Structure 1
Amino acid sequence: MKPKVMQICLSDGWGGLEMYPARIIPELARQGWEAHGLALEGSRVASSLVDAGIDPLTVGSRGQALWRVRRILAYLKAHGIEVLHCHKSSDLRLGALLVSLRPQLRLFFTDHMGVTRPKRDPFHRWSYGKVHRLFSISEATRRRNLNAFPLPAERIRRLYLSIDPAPYVDDLDAGEKSALRAELGIPEGAVAIGLPGRFSRGKGQALWIEALGRLAEMAPDQAWQGVLIGGLTVGEGSDEAVVAELRGRVAELGLESRVSFAGFRSDLPSCLKALDIVCVPSRNEAFGLTVIEAMAAGRPVVGSSSGAIPELVSEETGRLAAPDAPEAWAAALVELLGDAGLRERLGAAGRRRVQEEFTLSGHVAALVGEYAGQEAAPEA
């Protein structure tokens, strides 16, 4: 009989945290585990689980999940599920209650966001005390977790996020790449400097635009195009006020012809292949999935020297710049703009690092080892 795990994500949002359960489910199946899910009725999480090939158990609200705990326990017993994996801290109330009522359950929690304040009051001591292993998605978040959570160090493990590198292999022929670059607003012959991601104040788009303004002054004869890739409306997950402010600043700097707003794209792996440089100016990224996606596509990355990004980007794969220093960003871009060979070398090194350290198969292998009770080496 296959071992079984229930992924619990009672969120009505849609971001990297919410996408994670569906991303790992096919690989869990390949590695011999049967996945089940618990999600909010009608949520994008629930539909993503269906798309991943499972029929999730659903509840109308987090509160309903608590007062229907007996129904959930019956489901776990009927399906022989003994492993629970939560992805939102608010779901740990339910997870801890389930473990209290059925002690043979093993509870895991991934801190996708990075805790910002201590959680050592009696409630958190009880709920986190039921967690068998807490996964931190970077060393930066693990350091904060060690200080914030009422758990011994051996129960907090760093487990980097990961991707399947295959869709990012640069397999576009010249015609396909030319057509895609035209769709993204990139003129022929220009070096494309991309920033993919949701529009919000923490993602650094404002700093990036200031850096492009400096770049225009520092390299007036260089042909380049800035490309912002991401939904432009609330319905697409972005802050419309931020989008309006960015458009206004682009106009003030006279960059309308040099910065394109490409909008939401469902084909991000292909879009990354159409770019020449990828920027990730987030001020306090808990991990930086876009960084490893760009590296998998063989693109050099300019990233913020804060949060977890310095764990992913080195001098061998890109450049780092302070998240409040547009001049430093412009200087890094000037260096890369003028040296196609350097861009190629950095991109190739990034692709190798992803293949060695950030594959989905490796991530899930470590995960199922934990599910199965295989103790990892202790971390400092």
Structure 2
Amino acid sequence: MSDVRVRYVHRGYFPARAGAELMTQYLAASMSRLGWEAGVYSNPVDDDTAAFMRGAGVSIQPLPATPDDTDRADVVHAFDAFHPQDIAAGLDLARAWDVPFAVTPASAPDVWPDRGTVLDGCRAADAVFALTVAERDMLRDAGVPAARLHIVGQGPHLPGTPDPAAFRRAHGIQGPLVLFLGRKTRSKGYVTLLEATERVWRTRPDTSFVFLGPRWDDDCAQQFARHADPRVIELGMVDEDVKHSALAACDLLCVPSTVDLFPLVYVEAWACGKPVVASEFLGSEEVVSHGRDGLLVRPTVPAVAEALDRLLGDPAARDAMGRHGQERVRRELGWDAVADQVHTVYRTLIAARKQTEKAR
């Protein structure tokens, strides 16, 4: 199928690197390896996102103001309900070219800026890819035909070379290390974790907390100033080597997000053999198996602190949960499996469209 084209519509989260952007890159790269001509439409195309996509061999260009038949694709696939205008644009493009349209919402309904546009796009799509059963059921209940809904997972994004000892030396960390990795926004739970540090230090004063990722909320600087302590280490955007090293160096990952679907960072922690402390969001009990690969807790300071204290005080339980998570990644969560599922759906949609054209 070397003459088959797929175009993805997604604009990214510059300067952050969110799960939806990684999924777009991985799928585009995977489709290219499977013989498709895959490209990304982004509006605008910033230099960082362009370099990220092109580094994986994926072409990227601005979303055309009007459909260009010379670039006509066989499938259009829009990513991320956080940017509903991209879903609408992808649908318009697919209709203009009269080709199948797919959507991966990727973001939790709580952060959709325009629920109507998102759901209209999903209801009109030929395929909608959900990350969990809970998300699928929510979309079905909102009117998306059940036959068009498909559940796919996601795999880890760990291209860097880890050096956990060097990471600890660089930041003067000798005792236990709790890692937060992601955008520093309240919905991801970074403030809850910051406020839990004092409670943890009452029993485990040698614990360090590393917060890695871009500042997102307007008051991030004030939050970190309020909790200033040598044991709180804040890092911004880092390269893949540092990210991988932080995951390999930590004792556990704590991202008590309340607005999510399937945080990619959990999969990355499990791939490194680390347990996670997570909070309650749509489908969270599917994503984290409580007591097996991590702990699910209420999104409150006491609950998060108690979970951290429990795991920091029980190395055997931490190791067992990390091993279970690592095995789950090997068994269930990988980009090759996701790409195969999506590829099968694409081929089915194209075949069905050809049959419809013949019947006209």
Identify the TM-score tier after normalising by the shorter chain: 0.7 to 0.9
Is 1:197 the equivalent of 2:182?
Answer: yes
> Do the aligned residues in 2 keep the contact of 1:133 with 1:156 (CA within 8 Å)?
yes
Distance in 1 of aligned mates of 2:348 and 2:271: 31
The 1:32/1:74 distance shift into structure 2, 3 A limit, reads closer
Is 1:261 the counterpart of 2:264? The answer is: no
* Structure 2 length-normalised TM: 0.84
How far apart, CA to CA, are the structure 2 residues paired with 1:91 and 1:263? Answer: 28
For structure 2, list consecutive stretches of 5 or more residues without a partner in the other structure.
351-360
Structure 1: which amino acid aligns with 2:60? P
Q: What is the deviation of 1:272?
A: 0.1
Q: Hey, what's the Cα distance between the residues in 1 that align with 2:191 and 2:12? A: 29
Q: How many Å separate the matches in 1 of 2:44 and 2:109?
A: 27
Residue pair 1:6, 1:35 contacting (<8 A) in 2 also: yes
Counterpart check, 1:86 vs 2:64: no
Instruction: Please state if 1:157 is matched with 2:144.
Output: no
Q: What's the offset of the Cα at 1:283?
A: 1.3
Residue 286 of structure 2 is aligned to residue 282 of structure 1: no
List per-residue Cα deviations over 1:22-67 (Å, max 9, x = no partner): 23333223333331222235324434332221333324xxxxx34x
Q: Pick from 28, 32, 41: which aligns with 1:38?
A: 41
Aligned pair 1:228/2:224, yes or no? no
* Aligned residue runs from structure 1 range 1-380, under 5 A: 1-2=1-2, 3-10=4-11, 13=14, 14=16, 15-43=18-46, 44-59=48-63, 65-66=64-65, 68-69=66-67, 71=68, 73-76=69-72, 81-88=73-80, 89-103=84-98, 105-116=99-110, 127-148=121-142, 150-163=143-156, 167=159, 176-186=163-173, 188=174, 190-217=175-202, 219-220=203-204, 223-232=206-215, 238-248=216-226, 250-251=227-228, 256-267=229-240, 268-314=243-289, 315-324=291-300, 326-373=301-348
For the Cα contact (< 8 Å) 1:321–1:328, is it kept in 2?
A: yes
Structure 1 residues without counterparts, runs of 5 or longer:
60-64, 233-237, 376-380
Deviation at residue 287 of structure 1 after TM alignment: 1.4
Matched pairs, number: 339
Distance in 2 of aligned mates of 1:355 and 1:371: 25
Q: TM-score, normalised by structure 1?
A: 0.80
Instruction: Name the larger-Rg structure.
Output: 1
Equivalent residue of 2:59, what SS?
coil
Q: 1:294 to 1:124 in 2, by over 3 A?
A: closer
Change in 2 beyond 3 A, CA 1:356/1:275: same
Note the aligned Cα RMSD (angstroms): 2.8
Contact 1:201-1:242 within 8 A present in 2 as well: no
Identity percentage of aligned residues: 25
Q: Which residue in 2 is equivalent to 1:235?
A: none
